[in-house]
Amino acid sequence: MAGKVQTAARPERQAGRPAGTQDIREQQMPKKKKKARHFYDYSLLFCIIFLTSFGLVMIYSASSYSAQLNYKGNGAYFMERQAMIAAAGFVGMLIISKIDYHIFARFSVAAYLMSYILMIAVSFVGKEVNGKKRWLPLGPFSFQPTEFVKIALIVLLAAMITTMGMKINKWKNMGYIVALTLPIAGLVAMNNLSSGIIVCGIAFVMLFVACKVKWPFFTLGALGLGTLAFAGPIGKFLMTIKLLQPYQFRRIEAWLNPESDPTDKGFQVLQGLYAIGSGGFFGKGLGNSTQKLGMIPEAQNDMILSVICEELGVFGAIVVLILFGLLLYRLMFIARNAPDLYGSLIVTGIFAHIALQVILNIMVVTNMIPTTGVTLPFVSYGGTSVLFLMTEMGLALSVSRRIKLQTE
């Protein structure tokens, strides 16, 4: 028909080509292997950088007044020292994150034994500050051995539990871990009660995660809460048998009734509570704290959270706690996805250390427990503390780098 163009229908298969040949070829073609790429936790790195930077700002704000009076007008004295050590610690963290964390298991026993040597040494040749020997002098700097003990114990217990495997569920092996922990924890507690509690807490959490049987841990937790309820009588008994120093018992008395001696034993607690109360929800503004002007002793140390509450309010404190929550969440993520049990237990111990220290600091500042001299991680002034915290973060990042993600 004129004007009508007819097109031949396109054959579905070419002549001579058997049906289903293409399907067979597709089935026979090798599938592309999924590529594994290594994971690096940049969220954890962000939390570390932000908390450390925020800590430097708050150290300057909390200490500038006292630093000007005591260090020839240099209001940034404490901030500069902290920044220098934090920078060195940050570089060390990045270096450690590149090292295979399994290497540290070889030195775990030596580090554990070194912990005893350092704790005994500080009792004899330690630098005395405010009536307490907690620091070993190292030239212009001082070193706090209790921070070394925490990381040494984490690495040792992780190695021991990994070696035991499923045998950790036997009472004998659980007792062995406890026997490794209690002597060094006792030495630490005689030097610094809060650090002794943290050392025990680290072992407690690592065992809780590793063991199938959970009821002994819940029982111990209940006993711990009961101890707080009878802290007064227990404190007197421990002081009688020389396990508690008189200055430590005075802190218990100040905790139970700070108003009974507002100018001495209860002074620090009450001033911290006044700072928190006067800040309100949004605070007085950065740098506008009045309690730091000689009222809160060494405000840049253990009581820095009260200055944060006064200047930035409850809102600022909540933001800081959210950041700590994010940091702990990233540590939990790494622990759950670690390539082996040893890496998982290392990060679990680090998680326990930071979580316990944050909780104890909050409880001390709000007078929920006696004043024990525990710092707020990454925020409070303390060179040894931030240096070993960076070391722990390096270990956590080292574990995270060996997590493999499957990609197309």
Whether residue 373 is predicted with pLDDT greater than 80 in this model: the reply is: no
Separation of alpha carbons 386 and 89, rounded Å = 7
Give dist(CA 189, CA 196) in Å, integer: 4
Q: Which residue in 18, 293, 292, 295 sits closest to 305, CA to CA?
A: 292
Reported as a single tens digit per residue, the pLDDT across 43-77 is 999 999 999 999 999 999 998 888 888 888 888 88
Alpha carbon separation from 66 to 57, 74, 105, 295 (Å, rounded): 15, 10, 43, 11
Q: Which pLDDT band, with edges at 50, 70 and 90, does 293 fall under?
A: confident
> Residue 404 belongs to what H/E stretch?
strand 404-407
DSSP string, 9-40: PPPSS-TTPPTTHHHHHHHHSPPPPPEEEE--
Give the mean pLDDT of the chain.
Answer: 83
Of the candidate ranges 15-24, 84-93, 250-259, 281-290, the one whose mean pLDDT is the lowest: 15-24
Type of residue numbered 125: V
Per-residue model confidence as pLDDT tens digits over 138-194: 776 778 889 999 999 999 999 999 999 888 888 898 899 999 999 999 988 887 888
Q: What is the pLDDT of residue 8?
A: 44
What pLDDT, in 10s, does the model give residues 205-235?
999 998 888 877 788 877 877 776 666 677 7
- So what's the pLDDT on residue 24? 43
Q: Is the dihedral of CA 87, 89, 91, 97 positive or negative?
A: negative
H or E segment to which residue 287 belongs: none
Confidence of residue 14 (pLDDT cuts 50, 70, 90): very low
Q: Does pLDDT of 17 surpass 60?
A: no
Residue 76 tokens read as 């940034």
pLDDT at 408 > cutoff 70: no
φ, ψ of residue 406 to 5 degrees: the values are -85, 125
The fraction of the chain above a pLDDT of 90, given in percent, is: 43
The reported pLDDT for the residue numbered 6 is 45
Structure token pair of residue 17: 């080509």
Spatial CA neighbour of 276 closest among 316, 246, 244, 247: 316
d(CA 101, CA 99): 6
pLDDT recorded at residue 334: 94
Percent of all residues in the chain with a pLDDT value above 70, rounded to a whole number: 84
Cα–Cα dist 308/57, whole Å: 10
What predicted TM-score, i.e. pTM, was given to this entire model? 0.84
What are the residues whose beta carbons fall under 8 Å from the beta carbon of 284, sequence distance 6 or more? Answer: 278, 290, 310, 311, 313
Q: Which long-range contacts (CB under 8 A, 24 or more apart) does 180-185 make?
A: 180/112, 180/153, 180/156, 181/153, 181/157, 184/112, 184/115, 184/116, 184/119, 184/149, 184/153
Give pLDDT, residue 37. 64
* Higher-confidence position of 247 and 171: 171
pLDDT digits (tens, 9 = 90+) for 70-117: 888 888 889 999 999 999 999 999 999 999 999 999 999 999 999 999
Least confident of 65-79, 151-165, 244-258, 357-371: 244-258
In this model, does residue 2 exceed pLDDT 80? no
Q: What is the pLDDT of residue 125?
A: 79
Average pLDDT over residues 333-354: 94
pLDDT at 35: 56
Higher pLDDT, 332 or 255: 332
Q: DSSP E strands: which ranges in 73-154?
A: 127-129, 132-138, 141-143
